[in-house]
Amino acid sequence: MKLFSYKKTQKKNVKILYILPSHYDDDGYPYHFWKGLLPSNTLVCMRALTQKLINEKKLDEKFEVHVEIKDEFVQSIDVDKTVNESKKRNEILIVGLVGVQTNMFARASDLAIMFRKYQVPVIIGGFHVSGVMKLFGPDVPDLKFLMDNGVSLVCGEVEGDGVLATILNDAINNRLQPYYMIPKSPDIQDAPIPVADPEYLKHFMQPMCTIDTSRGCPFNCSFCTIINVQGRKIRCRSAEKILQVIEQNYDNGFFSYFFTDDNMSRSPIWKELFMGLIELKQKGKKIRFMMQIDTQSWKIPDFVRMASEAGCYLVFIGMESINPQNLVLMGKTQNKTSEYAEMVESWHRAGILVHVGYIVGMPCDTPQSIIHDVRLLKTEVKVDEASFFIMTPIPGSKDHKERLERGEKISDDCNHYDSCHETFPHPNFKIGELKKSWLKAWSLFYSKDNIIDILLRCPPEQYWNAFWLTLWNRYSTLLSNHPMSMGFLRKKRRKERRPTMEIESISAFLHRRMKDFINQVKVIMQVFYEYQEIWLLTRKQLKEKRESLASAYSYLQEIRTCLTQILQSNQYTQFVSQEYEQIIQKTNELLLQLSQTSGQMNRKIQRRLEQQLSGLKEQINSFKSCVPNIENLIRFDSLVKKKIICSYEEIMIKSVAHRRKINRWWIGLKHDLSIGRFRWKNMFYIPEVLFFEIFTGLRFAISAVRMK
């Protein structure tokens, strides 16, 4: 369906093209994907606002104005082609680069200059320009460069009366000002709410709609730009209008939402909105949504319960750190670390998954403390999903301003402000070490053991959501990308490279793409196999087995925490030997618990389990006489993981044992082939392997896609 089509008319046509620019990777290629993860809220908001002006005839009536959108993450932007098409149609082209965050600013500037070469009027808006101009005014070199090249900049939100109409009429009549400073944050009560656009949403893996029900935040975190750009007073849209659009979207087949408010729990309309969604559900129109909230919101009366009834399946919480000192230094004093576990538990009880944002490189962080804190996040706080960000002094934040005032060195490449790069020297980390710690945090959290633990203990009704979310994070991080700014299947164009880097020869580019392809296939295969095993172990239908495995995994986590404490203490004091005794004791308890659960299984499993476990008791107790040095502790860890947990899993779930046997066969075959050895034994297994791979692979793929 085409939402906006051209009419034959006497008036001159004007095309307003809103583009969400991408950003560059470290090799200078813009990020493009075949399918994206999240659609852009700013892009659809800007189109809805402009369409309203067109409908209300607020734009110069001498022209016939049309509006189009393009998201560079998932759609290609060919500047020459776009300009030539407009020329052929004899229409005036106006380009708006929208929602430009700091990490997108370099790409946005390059696109702007490309369009300016054809004299196309270009306007840039979004958080980078707004944040910088609010704190430093327009006299900043990067911004001046653009204005000198005829690009117009917009600082602030444009919903206010006449604001966008003025800018667009100036653009249509070729009289754009170098910049527009919007003095007041507008009331958004009556701002148009974008309706779902199937043409745009088809570029994403799942058709999810976005709505910002409110803007502004009452808190005062020093690393955040919201306070300076959108203000501390909360302004909201009309709940009634939002509900009307949601119902209309439902009737058109769209029922999944991301409410992009920075803090939905402080939105004055949350109750009215949730009540409306509950009523829609009673009418059979079931909506599902995720939202961002703060760490205190679980205490708001009725908030958690109503969110669950209204269809919330995931909350994103800005936890940022588990070190209280860090939180005080960053002004995030509303976060109470001692309450984190209770908070997560309260959301879980309501059947809602908890995803936290976590910053590494806060003032008190060190490489060791990050490892320690991530362990706590897994074992004590028990969140279902975590996104890690490298501490970044984003322009527009108090942190950025203060660093500049103190004369500290910060990166001058905006493209690096994506929370995945080091942008300032941290006193506790050598250069490059912060990035390593950040990667370590991802790999520790998304380790296979923790993913199994998450899937075993998450609310059962959210099993498939947790499954796909963790899978996405694992897949993105294996490809060294941030899951939030990542899509499925990367695209690159040879000639589309950052102007500061040379265009590669065809052969060099083909070589790069071949390497990318092989890496992509490898990662997809790795994730497929890993998750097949994870699914075999954690499937929802194995209710009793899941429960006993869940407690085995939580024991394993506890034992590992003790082991880490011993390893970190580095000296064998009285305390260490007590801890050591404690883990041996805990492991014995684990054995006892596992053999008790065997009573619920069939006789054969029970017998095998008893045989396996009785031999282990002696081995565990033999550790009592060993010194708790590093080698012994590692041996102990491997005994618990391999001999107790793995064999328990294999005895309980036959298909897991089978999967692992075939994995070993593949590894053996690969090894044999690498050294040029041929074994007849390998051939005999081929029919069994093929049958298993096809049968289990298909069963897994169908279950994961149907999510049943």
**Does residue 422 bind ligand B12 (CB under 6 A)?**
no
Cα–Cα distance between 442 and 593 in angstroms, integer? 32
CB of 268 to ligand SF4, least distance (A): 16
Cβ-in-10-Å burial (0-12, 13-18, 19+) of 301 comes to exposed
Using the contact rule CB under 6 A, the part of the chain among 222-230, 456-464, 513-521, 570-578 near ligand SF4 is 222-230
Q: With contacts defined by CB under 6 A, name the span among 58-66, 127-135, 341-349, 673-681 that binds ligand B12.
A: 127-135
Interacting partner of 221 out of ligand SF4, ligand B12, none (Cβ under 5 to 8 A depending on kind): ligand SF4
Stretch that binds ligand SF4, among 41-49, 126-134, 217-225, 277-285 (CB under 6 A): 217-225
104 contributes a contact to ligand SF4 by CB under 6 A: no
Of the candidate residues 167, 386, 466, 556, the single one contacting ligand B12 (CB under 6 A): 167
Strands 12-20 and 63-71: parallel
252 vs 207: CA distance, rounded Å: 12
User: Distance of alpha carbon 501 from its chain centroid, rounded?
Assistant: 29
User: Is 466 within 8 Å of 385 (Cβ atoms)?
Assistant: yes
Q: x/- site string to ligand B12, residues 389 to 418, per CB under 6 A? A: x----xxx--------------------xx
Q: Which of 126, 311, 459, 483 binds ligand B12 (CB under 6 A)?
A: 126
Q: How far apart are CA 475 and CA 483, in angstroms?
A: 8
**Are the beta carbons of 610 and 635 closer than 8 angstroms?**
no
Torsion angle in degrees (nearest 10) through CA of 40, 46, 47, 53: 170
Identify whether the C-beta of residue 458 lies closer than 8 Å to the C-beta of residue 466: yes
Q: Interaction with ligand SF4 in 500-539: which residues (CB under 6 A)?
A: none
Q: Which is nearer to ligand SF4, 219 or 417 (CB)?
A: 219
Kindly state the smallest distance separating residue 55's Cβ from ligand B12, in Å: 18
Give the x-and-dash track for 648-667 against ligand B12 (CB under 6 A). Answer: --------------------
Q: In the Cβ-directed half-sphere of 567, how many Cα atoms lie within 13 Å?
A: 17
- The entry of ligand B12, ligand SF4, none near residue 101 (CB within 5 to 8 angstroms by kind) is ligand B12
Q: Which does 294 bind (CB under 5 to 8 A by kind): ligand SF4, ligand B12, none?
A: ligand SF4
The answer to the question of residue 227 lying near ligand SF4 (CB under 6 A) is yes
Among 40, 82, 86, 169, binds ligand B12 (CB under 6 A): 40
Q: Which of 221, 319, 362, 640 binds ligand SF4 (CB under 6 A)?
A: 221
Rule CB under 6 A: say whether 316 interacts with ligand SF4.
Answer: no
Neighbours of 375 (CB within 10 A): 18
Side-chain-facing half-sphere of 460: CA atoms under 13 Å: 10
197 binds ligand B12 (CB under 6 A): no
- Which of 50, 101, 323, 597 binds ligand B12 (CB under 6 A)? It is 101
Considering the rule CB under 6 A, would residue 125 count as an interface residue with ligand B12? yes
Name which position in 159, 261, 294, 422 contacts ligand SF4 (CB under 6 A): 294
User: Which residue in this structure is represented by tokens 């890690």?
Assistant: 388
Compute the Cα dihedral for 548, 550, 551, 556 and give only its sign: positive
User: Tokens 């001999």 label which residue?
Assistant: 643
- Per CB under 6 A, the segment of 296-304, 388-396, 452-460, 597-605 that binds ligand B12 is 388-396
Among 13, 50, 82, 130, binds ligand B12 (CB under 6 A): 130
Q: What is the rounded end-to-end Cα distance, in angstroms, of the chain? A: 31
226 binds ligand SF4 (CB under 6 A): yes
| Among positions 156, 318, 396, 483, the unique one binding ligand SF4 when judged by CB under 6 A | 318
CA dihedral for 393, 398, 401, 404, sign (positive or negative): negative
For 616-682, give the DSSP string.
HHHHHHHGGGS---HHHHHHHHHIIIIIIIIHHHHHH-HHHHHHHHHHHHHHHHHHHHHTT---HHH
Please report whether residue 319 would count as binding ligand SF4 according to CB under 6 A: no
Q: Which of residues 261-280 bind ligand B12 (CB under 6 A)?
A: 262
- 358 near ligand SF4 (CB under 6 A): no
Q: Which stretch binds ligand SF4 (CB under 6 A): 115-123, 220-228, 361-369, 429-437?
A: 220-228
Stretch that binds ligand B12, among 106-114, 126-134, 339-347, 502-510 (CB under 6 A): 126-134
* CA dihedral of 699, 705, 706, 708, whole degrees rounded to 10: 70
Whether residue 496 contacts residue 30, with contact meaning beta carbons closer than 8 Å, is answered with yes
Q: In sequence order, what are the beta bridge partners of 279? A: none
CA neighbor of 249 nearest in space, from 208, 217, 290: 208
211 binds, among ligand B12, ligand SF4, none (CB under 5 to 8 A by kind): none
Query: How far apart are the C-alpha atoms of 513 and 494, rounded to whole Å?
Result: 10
In degrees, rounded to 5, the angle at the alpha carbon of residue 206 between the alpha carbons of residues 279 and 225 is 85
User: Of 19 and 584, which CB lies nearer to ligand B12 in the complex structure?
Assistant: 19
The residues, any chain, with a CB within 8 Å of residue 626's CB and separated by 6 or more, are 632
Spatial distance between the Cα atoms of 447 and 453, rounded to a whole number of angstroms: 10
Task: Give the distance from CA 446 to its chain's centroid.
Answer: 13
Q: Is 639 in the site for ligand B12 (CB under 6 A)?
A: no
Residue numbers at the binding site for ligand SF4 (CB under 6 A): 217, 219, 221, 224, 226-227, 262-263, 294, 318
Residue numbers at the binding site for ligand B12 (CB under 6 A): 23, 38, 40-42, 45-46, 96, 98-99, 101-104, 123, 125-128, 130-131, 154, 157-159, 167, 210, 212, 215, 224-226, 230, 260, 262, 389, 394-396, 417-419, 484-485
